[in-house]
Amino acid sequence: MSLHPSTVPDAAVAPQPDRVAPDTGAIPTRARMIRFGAGFLAFGLLWAVGLAMVANVLLPQRLTDIGVASPDAWFGTINSVTAVVSLVSNLVFGNLSDRVRSRFGRRTPWILGGALLGGASLFLVGTLTDPVLILVMYCVTMVGLNMMLAPAVAVISDRVPLSVRGTMSAFFGAGATVGYPLGALVGAAFITASLSGYTLAAILLGAAGVITLIIWPRERSAADVAPRDAGTFKDLLLSFRPPRNAPDFYRAFAGRLFMLVSYQMIAAYQLYIVQNYVGQSVVESAATISTMSVITLVVGLVASLGAGPISDRIGRRKAPVIVASLLFAVGVAMPWIFPSTTGMLLYAGIAGLGYGVYSSVDQALNVDVLPNQEEAGKDLGILNLATTLGQTLGPIITSSVVVATGTYQLIFPISIAMAIIGALSIVGIKSVR
C-alpha cells in the first residue's frame, strides 16, 4: 500500500514543535540563535567575574583590612544573610517578571533595573568601613543581582526552542564557570588597591545586564498581554507553589544543592584556606590564588564548551553530571592529602575540570526534568534556589566547622561527602538518560 503523494511533502515541511521559539511561534534563524548564545555567555561571564572579585577576594580581605574581630566569622555571617536575601529575591523577581507586563517586554525592565542597582550598590560596598553597613549594602547588591538573574534565566523558556535549550544553558554555564576563577584572578590583582577593584567589579556586574540586552534580539512588547492569573495577593502567593508528583525534578534539585554546597565550602574560603591552612602571607596567597584561577579558568573553559556538545551527541545527561561530581570530589581531596601549594594547584585543576563539566551539562539536565513546560520559568527559578541554598549553606558549614575546631582540616572530607551525595541524587533520576 502506498501513501497519498500529498502527504509526503507536507510531512517533510511540517515544523517540529521543539524547534519553534515560544515567543514568535516560528523557527528562529541561525543568526538569532547565535545572538542568544553570545548573550548568555556574556551574561554569565560578566556577572560572575564581578561578583567573584568581591565575594572570593576583596570582601574577605576588606574585613581584615578594616580590623574586624574574627573576620572569618563575619564573612560567614555576611554570606548567610545575603544568601537568604538572594533566595527571596530570586523567587520574587522571577515571579514578578512572569506577571508584570510592559511595552519593553516581561524580562527586559527587570534585567536592566537589576543591573543598575547591583552595580551601584557593589561599588558602595567598597567604600564602607563598618561591617554592619557592608552587610546591608551587600544585601542590596544581591537584590539587584537576582532582579536581573531570575528573569534572564527565564528567557530560556520564553524565547529559546526546546531543541536548543540545553545548548543555551551550556553557554550560560560556561560563562559562569570561567567567570568565577577569572574573577578571583582579577580580584587578587586588586588585593592591595581595593577601591579600584570594587569599581571594576561594579562596572562588570552592571554591564552583565546592559550588554546582554544589547546582544539579544529585542524582546517583544508584552503591554497588551494580560497577566496569566488574576492579580490578587492570594494568586501571587499560590504562584510560588512548587510542582507536585515530580520526583526527578526534586532529585535534580538535590543533586545541584549538594554539589553547590560542596563547591562553595571551598571556593568561598579559598583565600583564607591558602593563608590559614597552607600558611601563606597576603602577598604569597595573592600569587597562589592567581595561579589557581588561571588553571581553573583554562580547564573550566575547555570542559564547559566541550561537555555540552558531547552530551548532546551521546544523548546522555546523567553520566557526565555524575562523573563530573565525582571528579570534583577527587579534586577537593588534594589539599586534604597535600596541605600545600601543590595540593591547592591540584585542586584547581581537577576540581575545576569537574565543575566545568558539571556546570555545562547540569543546566541541560535541569531543563530535561522540568515537569511542565508551561511553567518552565517558575520551575527553573525553583531549581535555581538550589544554587542559592548551596551558596548559603556551603560557607555556613565551613565557617561553623572552622570556628568550632579552629582548623580547616575537616572541611575537605565534608565537601567530598556532599559531592558524592549530589552524584547519588542524579543516579536516581529515571526520566532522563
Q: What is the pLDDT of residues 42-65, one digit of tens each?
A: 999 999 999 999 988 899 888 888
234 — pLDDT class (breaks 50, 70, 90): low
Q: What is the average pLDDT across 411-417?
A: 96
> In this predicted structure, what is the pLDDT of residue 279?
86
> In this predicted structure, what is the pLDDT of residue 99?
73
pLDDT at 12 over 80: no
8 — pLDDT class (breaks 50, 70, 90): very low
> In this predicted structure, what is the pLDDT of residue 5?
42
Taking the model in full, what pTM does it have?
0.74
pLDDT digit string, tens, across residues 165-187: 767 877 887 888 788 878 988 99
Q: What is the average pLDDT across 325-348?
A: 94
Lowest mean pLDDT of 5-9, 78-82, 218-222, 297-301, name the range: 5-9
> In this predicted structure, what is the pLDDT of residue 3?
42
6 — pLDDT class (breaks 50, 70, 90): very low
pLDDT digit string, tens, across residues 276-313: 999 888 888 888 888 898 898 788 878 877 777 777 77
Q: What is the average pLDDT across 265-270?
A: 88
pLDDT digit string, tens, across residues 344-383: 999 999 999 998 888 778 877 877 777 766 565 567 777 8
Q: What is the average pLDDT across 5-25?
A: 58
Domains of the chain in start order, with CATH, are 29-223+234-427 (1.20.1250.20)
What would the 3-class secondary structure string for the chain be? CCCCCCHHHHHHHCCCHHHCCCCCCCCCCHHHHHHHHHHHHHHHHHHHHHHHHHHHHHHHHHHHHCCCCCHHHHHHHHHHHHHHHHHHHHHHHHHHHHHCCCCCCCCHHHHHHHHHHHHHHHHHHCCCCCHHHHHHHHHHHHHHHHHHHHHHHHHHHHHCCHHHHHHHHHHHHHHHHHHHHHHHHHHHHCCCCHHHHHHHHHHHHHHHHHHHHHHCCCCCCCCCCCCCCCCCHHHHHHCCCCCCCCHHHHHHHHHHHHHHHHHHHHHCCHHHHHHHHHCCCHHHHHHHHHHHHHHHHHHHHHHHHHHHHHHHHHCCCHHHHHHHHHHHHHHHHHHHHCCCHHHHHHHHHHHHHHHHHHHHHHHHHHHHCCCCHHHHHHHHHHHHHHHHHHHHHHHHHHHHHHHHHCCCCCHHHHHHHHHHHHHHHHHCCCCCC
> In this predicted structure, what is the pLDDT of residue 144?
96
pLDDT at 104 over 90: no
pLDDT at 222 over 70: no
> In this predicted structure, what is the pLDDT of residue 382?
79
Lowest mean pLDDT of 21-35, 51-65, 228-242, 261-275, name the range: 228-242
pLDDT at 327 over 60: yes
Please state, rounded to an integer, the average pLDDT across all residues of the chain.
84
